[in-house]
C-alpha cells in the first residue's frame, strides 16, 4: 500500500491524497460503505461500484461466524468471493466482540444517547464475555458455541479473508466506561497492537503471501490524556496507517476537539481512518480534523428504513404524500435511480413491501454521500476547507 498526500489545507487539518492498493486507487478523503456480511445489503457489487464507492469494509467477526474464513479463502479471498474488484478493508472484530459485552449490558453504542448513571468501573466485568490478557472468550450469537478471539486470531482470520487493509485487534470501550477501566483497557489494546504486528510479520512478502496493509487502532475513550497517550504509542509503532476507534463524548459536537487530541500525535505521512462514524452533517468536520477515510452505515442503514438523503434534507419515503410526487428523489442528483424513477414509484414499492425499493434507496444514498465527499475534496483543492 502506498499513501500520497497531494495537498494539505492551510486553514484546517484536511488533506487531499490517495491510497494505492493492489486492487486500485482510493482518492481521499473517502467514505467507506459497510459490507458487513461481504455485501452492501440490497445491492450487487457491480451496482455498488456504480455509486462511485471506492472501497468497502467487511466485518471480520460476522464472516468468522458465517461462513468462516476458510470458506472465503477457498473461494479465492473476499474480492473473488463477493465479486468486488476494488479495494477492501476488514475490521478486527473487536468492536463486535465487545458489543456483546458491555454494549449489551448497558444498551449503548459508540455515542451515548442519554445520560446514564451506571458507569463501567474497573471492578465490573461484562456479563456475556470474558476479557483475558490474551483475548476475549464469548458465546457465538449464531449457535452458542464457546469462542475465543485475540490479536493473533484476528490477524489470522483477516489474512485468510484477504482484504487490502486490515486492522489490529483492540478493545473498543463503551461510552459508560470510567477512567480506571479505560486506562486498563488501553494497556491491553496497546499490548495487543504489538502482538498483531508480530503475528503478521511472518506473512510478509517473501513468504509467498499477498501484502496487506495493517492499521493500528487508537483508543482512550473520552479522556484527553489517554487519547494522547494512545495516539503517541500506536503512532510510534510500524503500522501502515491508523484507525481511530471508540467513543467521542456524550455530545457529538465534541468530536472535532477529541479527534484533534489524537491527530496531532499521529505521524503526518500515514493514512488515518475513523471507525464507524460519519453522519452527513459531520463529514466536513471529520475531514477538516484530518481524517482520510471513514466507514459508516448511515446511507445504507437509513435506506432500508425508507429514508432518502437529499439536498432538501432527509425524506421518509414511507409517507403517503410521496405517492403524488412525480419527481426524482433529488433534482440535482444524476444517479441512475434519480434519472429513472420518481418518488411516487419508490413510495409505492415501500408500501407494497417490494424489496427493490430498498435497493433503489441504498443506491441513491450511496451516490449522494459519495457526491458530498467528492464536493469536499473539491473544496480542499480550492482551499475552502
Q: How far is CA 36 from CA 82, 91, 296, in A?
A: 12, 10, 11
For cell 487493509, name the residue. Answer: 165
Residue 367: CB minimum distance to Zn ion, A:
5
Residue 203: CB minimum distance to Zn ion, A:
42
> Quick one: 19 or 48, whose CB is closer to Zn ion?
48
> Quick one: 183 or 364, whose CB is closer to Zn ion?
364
Return the residues of window 223-282 that contact Zn ion according to CB under 5 A. none
Q: Which of 233, 250, 251 is nearest to 242 (CA)?
A: 233
> Is 91 marked active-site?
yes
Rounded to 5 degrees, what angle do the CA atoms 128, 129, 130 make? 135
Residue 317 touching Zn ion (CB under 5 A): no
Say how far apart CA 228 and CA 85 lie, in whole Å.
Answer: 37
Residue 82: CB minimum distance to Zn ion, A:
24
C-alpha cell, 63: 464472516
> Quick one: 172 or 337, whose CB is closer to Zn ion?
337
Residue 250: CB minimum distance to Zn ion, A:
35
> Quick one: 49 or 80, whose CB is closer to Zn ion?
49
120-124 long-range Cβ contacts below 8 angstroms, 24+ apart: 120/173, 120/174, 120/176, 120/177, 120/178, 120/181, 121/178, 121/180, 121/181, 122/178, 122/180, 122/181, 122/183, 122/184
For cell 466536513, name the residue. Answer: 284
* Residue 338 host element (H or E): helix 336-340
Choose one: 109-117, 143-151, 308-316, 361-369; the region binding Zn ion (CB under 5 A): 361-369
Say how far apart CA 137 and CA 130 lie, in whole Å.
Answer: 5
Residue 368: CB minimum distance to Zn ion, A:
6
Strand order from edge to edge, sheet including 2-8: 2-8, 15-21, 24-28
Taking residues 320 to 359 in sequence order and writing x for each that binds Zn ion by CB under 5 A, - otherwise, the string is -------------x-x-xx---------------------
Residue 342: CB minimum distance to Zn ion, A:
12
> Is 295 marked active-site?
yes
Q: Which residues are 34's β-sheet partners? A: 57
Residue 327: CB minimum distance to Zn ion, A:
12
Please tell me the count of residues contacting Zn ion according to CB under 5 A.
5
CB atoms closer than 10 angstroms to residue 254: 13
Residue 60: CB minimum distance to Zn ion, A:
32
Say how far apart CA 78 and CA 153 lie, in whole Å.
Answer: 18
Of 222, 227, 364, 377, which one interacts with Zn ion (CB under 5 A)? 364
> Quick one: 98 or 341, whose CB is closer to Zn ion?
341
> Quick one: 180 or 327, whose CB is closer to Zn ion?
327
Return the residues of window 87-146 that contact Zn ion according to CB under 5 A. none
> Quick one: 16 or 347, whose CB is closer to Zn ion?
347
Say how far apart CA 353 and CA 331 lie, in whole Å.
Answer: 25
Which of the following is catalytic: 105, 170, 282, 295?
Answer: 295
Which of the following is catalytic: 91, 105, 164, 170?
Answer: 91
> Quick one: 135 or 359, whose CB is closer to Zn ion?
359
CB atoms closer than 10 angstroms to residue 103: 22
Say how far apart CA 104 and CA 282 lie, in whole Å.
Answer: 26
DSSP per position, 180-229: HHHHHHHHHHHHHHHHHHHHHHTTSTTSSPPP-EEEEEE--TT-HHHHHH
Which residues of this chain interact with Zn ion, rule CB under 5 A? 333, 335, 337-338, 364
> Catalytic amino acids?
91, 295
Amino acid at each position: 500500500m502506498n499513501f500520497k498526500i497531494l495537498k494539505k489545507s492551510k486553514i484546517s487539518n484536511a488533506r487531499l491524497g490517495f491510497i494505492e492498493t493492489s486492487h486500485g486507487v482510493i482518492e481521499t478523503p473517502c467514505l467507506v460503505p459497510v459490507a458487513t456480511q461481504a455485501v452492501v445489503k440490497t445491492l450487487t457489487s457491480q451496482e455498488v461500484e456504480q455509486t462511485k464507492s471506492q472501497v468497502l469494509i467487511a466485518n471480520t467477526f460476522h464472516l468468522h461466524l458465517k461462513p468462516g474464513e476458510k470458506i472465503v479463502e477457498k473461494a479465492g479471498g473476499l474480492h473473488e468471493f463477493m465479486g468486488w474488484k476494488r479495494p477492501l478493508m476488514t475490521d478486527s472484530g473487536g468492536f463486535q466482540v465487545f458489543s456483546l459485552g458491555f454494549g449489551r449490558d448497558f444498551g449503548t453504542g459508540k455515542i451515548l444517547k442519554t445520560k446514564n448513571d451506571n458507569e463501567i468501573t474497573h471492578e465490573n466485568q461484562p456479563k456475556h464475555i470474558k476479557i483475558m490478557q490474551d483475548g476475549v472468550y464469548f458465546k457465538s450469537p449464531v449457535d452458542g458455541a464457546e469462542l475465543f478471539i485475540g490479536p493473533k486470531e484476528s490477524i489470522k482470520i483477516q489474512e485468510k479473508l484477504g482484504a487490502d487493509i486490515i486492522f489490529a485487534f483492540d478493545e473498543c470501550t463503551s461510552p459508560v466506561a470510567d477512567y480506571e477501566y479505560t486506562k486498563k483497557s488501553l494497556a491491553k489494546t496497546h499490548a495487543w497492537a504489538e502482538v498483531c504486528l508480530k503475528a503478521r510479520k511472518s506473512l510478509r512478502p517473501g513468504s509467498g503471501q499477498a501484502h496487506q496493509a495493517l492499521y493500528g487502532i487508537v483508543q482512550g475513550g473520552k479522556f484527553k490524556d489517554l487519547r494522547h497517550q494512545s495516539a503517541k504509542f500506536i503512532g510510534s509503532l510500524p503500522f501502515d496507517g491508523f484507525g481511530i476507534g471508540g467513543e467521542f463524548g456524550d455530545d457529538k459536537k465534541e468530536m472535532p476537539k477529541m479527534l484533534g487530541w489524537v491527530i496531532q500525535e499521529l505521524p503526518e505521512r500515514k493514512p488515518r481512518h475513523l471507525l464507524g462514524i460519519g453522519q452527513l452533517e459531520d463529514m466536513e468536520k471529520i475531514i477538516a480534523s484530518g481524517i482520510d477515510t471513514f466507514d459508516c452505515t448511515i446511507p445504507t442503514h437509513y435506506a432500508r428504513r425508507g429514508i432518502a438523503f437529499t439536498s432538501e434534507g432527509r425524506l421518509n419515503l414511507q409517507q403517503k404524500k410521496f405517492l403524488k410526487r412525480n419527481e426524482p428523489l433529488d433534482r440535482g442528483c444524476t444517479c441512475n435511480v434519480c434519472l429513472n424513477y420518481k418518488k411516487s414509484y419508490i413510495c409505492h414499492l415501500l408500501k407494497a413491501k417490494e424489496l427493490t425499493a430498498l435497493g433503489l434507496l441504498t443506491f441513491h444514498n450511496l451516490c449522494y454521500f459519495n457526491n458530498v465527499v467528492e464536493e469536499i475534496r473539491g473544496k480542499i483543492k480550492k482551499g475552502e476547507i
